[in-house]
Structure 1
Amino acid sequence: MTMDPHLLRTFVTVARLASFSGAARELGYTQSAVSQHIAALEGDLRAELLTRRPVAPTPAGVRLLEHAGPLLLRLDAARADVLRLAAAPPGCVTLAASPLAVGPRLLAALPATGVTLRVLPPAEVPAAVATGGCDLGLVDGPAAPSDPLRLPDVAPLTVTGAGEEELAVLLPDGHPFAGRAAVRLDDLTDARWIDAPGVGLPLTAARASVRYEGTDVHALCALAAAGHGLALLPRRVAEAAAAGVAVPLSAPRLVHRTELLSPGAPTGAAAALAARLTAGSPV
């Protein structure tokens, strides 16, 4: 028996809100219909997915949730892809960009009119493009030179390298390494870093002293300069910070890489912008 995506979406909503009535309001169903959806899904899978008092996923429900998010996202991406092909090429372009991808290349490529720029956390950019929320996306992250970024598998996307640049560590004034010409990450194994998933470059081995959940690059730099933790940034961003000291990263050999995402071959105004964003890129 094929799993009904409508039932699956209802299950995800009930689990997220921990409420049958809340899910009914959000989805525009009656509470009875929501209960019937969950009962039908449990009957299909022959497993209890939710406890009722309180409303919470069972172990089987937790496992289904792990699959449900990517499955529903792929369905939304497929729908958006078909709608794009059926629609006439728009005259305006919506571009999603992660905060650190908003750099000189992007600013020089933007036309005077016709573009809506949405700044999103890096993890949200691929899904925004895949599901039709944006025509193009610029996403960034650390990578070995000329290596592609590791992006979530949300849908088939065309990925084009848009640029690479040096990295630097932003240190507070007076830090023992502030006078160095370069620094290795191994030298900073005991350092505390700022955990900033919405803007900063991830360091999985780093210990975080502060978690910053915004997308304002200037706020991240201010936190690092004030001594609340170190930040790994594109060298141009670290050197442009109002305070602190930018020390180039010498090892490991990593670069700040930016990639352009599109749901296929861009057309019209999106194609023109994509060409400007990737013009002259060696990657």
Structure 2
Amino acid sequence: MDPQQLRTFVAVVDHRSFSAAAQALGYTQSAVSQHVASLETDLEAPLLTRRPVAPTEAGERLLEHARPLLLRLDAARADVARLRQVRPGRLAVACTPGTLTPATALALVRARSAAPQLAVSVRVCGRTEAVQSVLTGGADLALVDGAVAATDPLPLPDAGPLTAFPISEEPLAVLLPAAHPLVGRPTLRLADLAVARWIDAADAAVPLAELRAAAQSDGFGHQLTYTGTDVRGLSVLVAAGAGLTTAALSAAGDLPGVVAVPISEPRIVHRTELLHPRTPTTPAAELAATLRSAQSPR
């Protein structure tokens, strides 16, 4: 299979349109159609219906392989480029919500002061996007967080050949509306909240699938989905009674209208880890060393 044909196929599926995919890829529509047709000939199976544009059963199966294959191809290209220090004059950091602490911000400012020519950028995004940004060269390192048992590694999407190490760990808390009947409790058992109404906010809080796994429960249903990385906006929904969510205990102190109650059972923690390539650029390696030296258990 030709990687470019795979990339075109994925673009058509994502845009649900041959013309929109052509515009996004900078191709003519006939070239896009030819790529898809060649792929279908190669695999001896129809991959897309045309009206409406949608993947067939074979197309759905191919998608399961195509996305990770293309990601790893992009990651390979970026990994080789790093060996040549293609972009030593930039320091691009991808962060999941809540991971940009004062200590990290200070380290970034010091890096910029030590090298005035350094182009420093910070982007807040979801966990998958942060990891993929480092893999494919869009970012030089990433700060990602999640909830895990104290002795377990942070569950990450396909991180390939990235190096990860923890930089902070603290209690995980449930965010409740200020008038919630459980606000007076010193701690809460996660399993007792399985039947509560939750907000599905995979990029701004712990994904509900991870809470189900931790509590060994099929509960944690939601009636509202929150798309985005604005933790303060998410807390506004909690305060209004839209549902519960989670946050690091220290990050919840300045959120208006909500109360953070630590989870006591099971013993899970909120951990932040730093990810970087095996061969980081010089600025990324220096920042990683600074953050590692500043690491202190909570």
TM-score scaled to structure 1, two decimals?
0.92
Which residue does the alignment assign to 1:78? 76
Counterpart residue identity of residue 269, structure 2 = V
CA–CA distance in structure 2, aligned partners of residues 119 and 34 of structure 1: 33
Q: Cα offset for 1:4?
A: 0.7
User: Would the aligned equivalents of 2:140 and 2:281 in 1 still touch at CA under 8 Å?
Assistant: no
CA–CA distance in structure 2, aligned partners of residues 91 and 13 of structure 1: 32
Which residue does the alignment assign to 1:7? 5
Which residue does the alignment assign to 1:251? 265
Question: How is 1:126-275 mapped onto 2 (pairs within 5 angstroms)?
Answer: 126-204=131-209, 205=212, 206-275=220-289
Q: Cα offset for 1:227?
A: 2.0
CA–CA distance in structure 2, aligned partners of residues 25 and 67 of structure 1: 24
Gaps spanning 5+ residues in structure 1: where?
A: none
User: Would the aligned equivalents of 2:104 and 2:291 in 1 still touch at CA under 8 Å?
Assistant: yes
User: Would the aligned equivalents of 1:73 and 1:154 in 2 still touch at CA under 8 Å?
Assistant: no
Shifted more, 69-78 versus 224-233: the winner is 224-233
Q: Cα offset for 1:266?
A: 2.6
- Which secondary structure does the structure 1 equivalent of 2:208 belong to? coil
Q: Cα offset for 1:157?
A: 0.8
CA–CA distance in structure 2, aligned partners of residues 226 and 247 of structure 1: 17
- The percent identity for this pair of structures is 55
CA–CA distance in structure 1, aligned partners of residues 143 and 192 of structure 2: 31
CA–CA distance in structure 1, aligned partners of residues 52 and 227 of structure 2: 30
Counterpart residue identity of residue 44, structure 1 = D
CA–CA distance in structure 2, aligned partners of residues 35 and 208 of structure 1: 40
User: Would the aligned equivalents of 2:85 and 2:281 in 1 still touch at CA under 8 Å?
Assistant: no
Deviations 1:110-157 (A, max 9, x none): 224342111111221110100000000010000111321111114311
Shifted more, 134-143 versus 164-173: the winner is 164-173
Which residue does the alignment assign to 1:277? 291
Task: Write out the 4+ residue segments of structure 1 that deviate beyond 6 Å after TM superposition.
Answer: none
CA–CA distance in structure 2, aligned partners of residues 19 and 242 of structure 1: 43
User: Would the aligned equivalents of 1:89 and 1:268 in 2 still touch at CA under 8 Å?
Assistant: no
User: Would the aligned equivalents of 1:97 and 1:125 in 2 still touch at CA under 8 Å?
Assistant: yes
Which residue does the alignment assign to 2:34? 36
**Matched residue count:** 281
TM-score scaled to structure 2, two decimals?
0.88
Which residue does the alignment assign to 2:126? 121
Q: Cα offset for 1:189?
A: 2.2
